[in-house]
């Protein structure tokens, strides 16, 4: 009772304050995300930002542990050599991680947030506003959406992804702050407060919202100029009916609404599992009920607000200049979504009793005594989740078809900056030995390795290694440089006579995570250093992480035959290794996915080209 009385005396807040984790993909120092951060704070929320150290636009659901940063962060927002992640020196609610948007929000959810919130977890995740739209076919590639889907799907936190059509890069300290950044921040905060005010659960299970703002220009320059419209991400031609709204059982698509003109904001009900529309009228109805207050009025003028938008479909498709024809991209949506299923294990966060949480959190139903049920611990299955490929839920592509789609995605990128990657999904247990080795590809992707050699100082071996091009040789001098993380090589070979000295130096902590620790098993502790150096020129390392082996497999300019040869050699090597690893460990290749630096992942069906395809390997052999 006393508690209730004390709470009743608190000032009534305009909105219930909650703990919000914030991410984006344009980089932690981009102005849009900072304006939104400030607007949420001003509204009373406890918001913690964790974004990538630099622009990681287009990286979808990629997630990789961060590596130490050598360069300054975007817009000089962190100094050189600042480590794998960092915080603003005076404001711990602003954080960066030197990796992908998904990784950044994962760190935010697991580390930065609980640190600021004294162990409590985020209640809501928001990402963006992204610089530029994220509509339909753009959605699977968006790191802003990827991070939101990670929050929903992997961390169980309701999430909203925001994107704004007005683009152009702006540093966090731009002054004065341009109107567009302020308007997007205000609009996004309005939606966040609406969702919070509607009560928990903030969103139905597995749902995320994909929100797109039109350009801030012309007659759309103040927050009050804009109207909210409930939408779908992809057209629902073959889907079950949507929730009944606007006298129709098919919601308009976000593309129609945003490109249809007018100051319309699209709010799409997305499915975090595959980044398409949540085709479940019941869940849609729950979202509709939450947003009804702010959705565009339907009676004045009658139903025209967005029903009118639907007539502009023809015009829309002409305006939409995506690099791809729709058919293949539509098919790769599902394939992309699968990549988001590669999840990293999360350390458990201790949850603190509710009464220890910041007082403002308790404003709702303060007089009702609630006992929070202990959270069920997620049991982690022994094996990595793998789908039955023959059920064909997910399309597979011939190598040529996959290359065609990926090259189309990469149009306009400088060819040298783009590489093909393979992701080999293994059927394997979570615990147990992992595959790790190096392979000489017939068409090496990187051949200019910088090699260092551990061998007795001043020995003949040292001289030979230097003559063969080693960038550093020796024992103690080299060890000291490694301890200082002064690592200017990407391979380390050790002569067997120096193995003891190497092991005594205790460098595993530094070299291990980088995959540089020499060992007999990886044939980097050797008797003939020069020969090994020669062998490893043109060799590429690979390593199984989370049941997946990822490796650069070709330059964008490679022909299908070159790529095929590389994939074949790698697969043969991995298959033989998987069968040799141990008698009681079962490990097999489950699926091979081809991707590029900015492209989606496409599952390969093992053929060079499908019989009905008119595409010839020759057509793909030109440099773009």
Ligand X SMILES: *[C@@H]1O[C@H](CO)[C@@H](O)[C@H](O)[C@H]1NC(C)=O
Interface positions with ligand X (CB under 6 A) = 26, 29-30, 55, 57-58, 77, 88, 90-91, 94, 131-132, 167, 169, 172-173, 388, 390-391
Which residues are 494's β-sheet partners?
454, 525
C-beta of residue 100 within 8 angstroms of C-beta of residue 143: yes
Work out the angle at residue 606's Cα, subtended by the Cα atoms of residues 603 and 610, and round it to the nearest 5 degrees. 95
- For ligand X, the closer CB: 146 or 444: 146
- For ligand X, the closer CB: 350 or 414: 414
Give which of 569, 504, 505, 500 is closest to 540, Cα–Cα: 569
C-beta of residue 22 within 8 angstroms of C-beta of residue 50: yes
- Closest distance to ligand X from the beta carbon of 332 (Å): 19
Inter-CA distances, 15 with 46, 201, 227, 362, 363, Å: 12, 16, 21, 12, 9
Inter-CA distances, 562 with 279, 410, 589, 611, Å: 42, 19, 21, 20
- Closest distance to ligand X from the beta carbon of 54 (Å): 9
- Closest distance to ligand X from the beta carbon of 171 (Å): 9
Contacts of 216 (CB under 8 A, 6+ apart): 164, 166, 179, 180, 183, 184
C-beta of residue 486 within 8 angstroms of C-beta of residue 70: no
- Closest distance to ligand X from the beta carbon of 253 (Å): 22
- Closest distance to ligand X from the beta carbon of 318 (Å): 22
Reported as type and span, the H/E element at residue 424 is strand 419-427
Inter-CA distances, 119 with 97, 116, 348, 349, 391, Å: 20, 8, 11, 7, 43
> What are 615's two structure tokens?
């595409």
Give which of 561, 364, 563 is closest to 445, Cα–Cα: 563
- For ligand X, the closer CB: 88 or 464: 88
> What are 461's two structure tokens?
């071996």
Give which of 370, 372, 41 is closest to 188, Cα–Cα: 41
Question: Which phi and psi angles does 83 have, rounded to 5°?
Answer: 90, -165
- Closest distance to ligand X from the beta carbon of 392 (Å): 8
- Closest distance to ligand X from the beta carbon of 388 (Å): 4
- For ligand X, the closer CB: 157 or 592: 592
- For ligand X, the closer CB: 76 or 249: 76
- For ligand X, the closer CB: 82 or 210: 82
Give which of 244, 242, 231, 218 is closest to 295, Cα–Cα: 231
- For ligand X, the closer CB: 227 or 427: 427
Question: Which phi and psi angles does 186 have, rounded to 5°?
Answer: -65, -45
- For ligand X, the closer CB: 55 or 284: 55
- Closest distance to ligand X from the beta carbon of 596 (Å): 13
- For ligand X, the closer CB: 180 or 564: 180
- For ligand X, the closer CB: 497 or 597: 597
d(CA 420, CA 60): 16
- Closest distance to ligand X from the beta carbon of 13 (Å): 23
- Closest distance to ligand X from the beta carbon of 354 (Å): 30
- Closest distance to ligand X from the beta carbon of 385 (Å): 13
- For ligand X, the closer CB: 110 or 138: 138
Inter-CA distances, 89 with 1, 110, 175, Å: 42, 20, 21
> What are 101's two structure tokens?
């948007």
């Amino acid at each position: 009772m006393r508690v209730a009385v004390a709470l009743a005396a608190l000032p009534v807040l305009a909105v219930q304050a909650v703990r919000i984790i914030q991410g984006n993909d344009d980089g932690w120092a981009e102005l849009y995300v900072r304006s939104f951060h400030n607007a949420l704070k001003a509204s009373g929320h406890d918001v913690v930002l964790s974004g990538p150290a630099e622009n990681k636009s287009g990286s979808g659901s990629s997630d990789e542990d961060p590596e130490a940063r050598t360069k300054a962060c975007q817009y000089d927002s962190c100094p050189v050599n600042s480590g794998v992640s960092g915080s603003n020196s005076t404001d711990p609610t602003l954080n960066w991680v030197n990796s992908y948007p998904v990784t950044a929000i994962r760190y935010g959810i697991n580390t930065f947030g609980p640190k600021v919130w004294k162990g409590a977890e985020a209640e809501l995740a928001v990402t963006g506003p992204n610089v530029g739209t994220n509509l339909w076919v753009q959605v699977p590639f968006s790191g802003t959406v990827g991070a939101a889907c990670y929050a929903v799907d992997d961390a169980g936190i309701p999430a909203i992804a925001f994107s704004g059509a007005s683009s152009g890069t702006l540093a966090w300290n731009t002054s004065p702050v341009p109107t567009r950044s302020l308007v997007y921040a205000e609009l996004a905060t309005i939606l966040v407060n609406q969702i919070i005010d509607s009560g928990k659960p903030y969103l139905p299970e597995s749902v995320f919202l994909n929100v797109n703002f039109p350009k801030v220009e012309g007659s759309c320059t103040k927050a009050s100029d804009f109207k909210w419209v409930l939408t779908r991400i992809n057209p629902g031609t073959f889907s079950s009916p949507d929730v009944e709204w606007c006298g129709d059982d098919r919601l308009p698509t976000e593309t129609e609404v945003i490109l249809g003109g007018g100051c319309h904001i699209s709010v799409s009900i997305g499915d975090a599992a595959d980044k398409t529309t949540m085709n479940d009228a019941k869940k849609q109805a729950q979202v509709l009920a939450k947003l009804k207050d702010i959705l565009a009025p339907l009676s004045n003028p009658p139903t025209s607000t967005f029903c009118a938008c639907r007539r502009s479909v023809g015009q829309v498709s002409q305006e939409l200049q995506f690099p791809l024809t729709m058919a293949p991209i539509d098919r790769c949506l599902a394939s992309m979504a699968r990549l988001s299923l590669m999840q990293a294990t999360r350390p458990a966060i201790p949850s603190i009793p509710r009464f220890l949480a910041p007082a403002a959190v308790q404003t709702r139903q303060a007089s009702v005594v609630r006992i929070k049920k202990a959270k069920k611990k997620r049991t982690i299955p022994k094996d990595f989740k793998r789908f039955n490929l023959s059920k064909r839920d997910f399309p597979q592509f011939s190598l040529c078809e996959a290359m065609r789609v990926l090259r189309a995605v990469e149009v306009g990128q400088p060819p040298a900056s783009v590489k093909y990657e393979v992701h080999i999904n293994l059927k394997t247990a979570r615990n147990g030995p992992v595959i790790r080795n190096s392979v000489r590809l017939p068409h090496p992707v990187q051949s200019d390795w910088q090699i260092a050699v551990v061998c007795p100082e001043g020995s003949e071996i040292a001289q030979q290694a230097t003559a063969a091009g080693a960038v550093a040789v020796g024992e103690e001098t080299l060890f000291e440089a490694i301890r200082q993380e002064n690592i200017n090589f990407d391979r380390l070979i050790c002569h067997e006579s120096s193995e003891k000295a190497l092991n005594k130096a205790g460098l595993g902590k530094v070299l291990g995570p980088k995959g540089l620790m020499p060992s007999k098993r990886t044939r980097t502790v050797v008797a003939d250093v020069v020969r090994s150096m020669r062998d490893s020129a043109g060799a590429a390392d690979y390593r199984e992480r989370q049941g997946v082996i990822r490796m650069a497999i070709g330059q964008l300019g490679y022909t299908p035959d070159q790529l095929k040869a590389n994939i074949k050699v790698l697969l043969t090597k991995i298959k033989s290794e998987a069968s040799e690893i141990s008698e009681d460990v079962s490990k097999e290749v489950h699926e091979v996915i081809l991707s590029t630096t900015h492209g989606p992942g496409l599952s390969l069906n093992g053929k060079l080209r499908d019989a009905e395809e008119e595409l010839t390997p020759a057509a793909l052999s030109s440099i773009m």
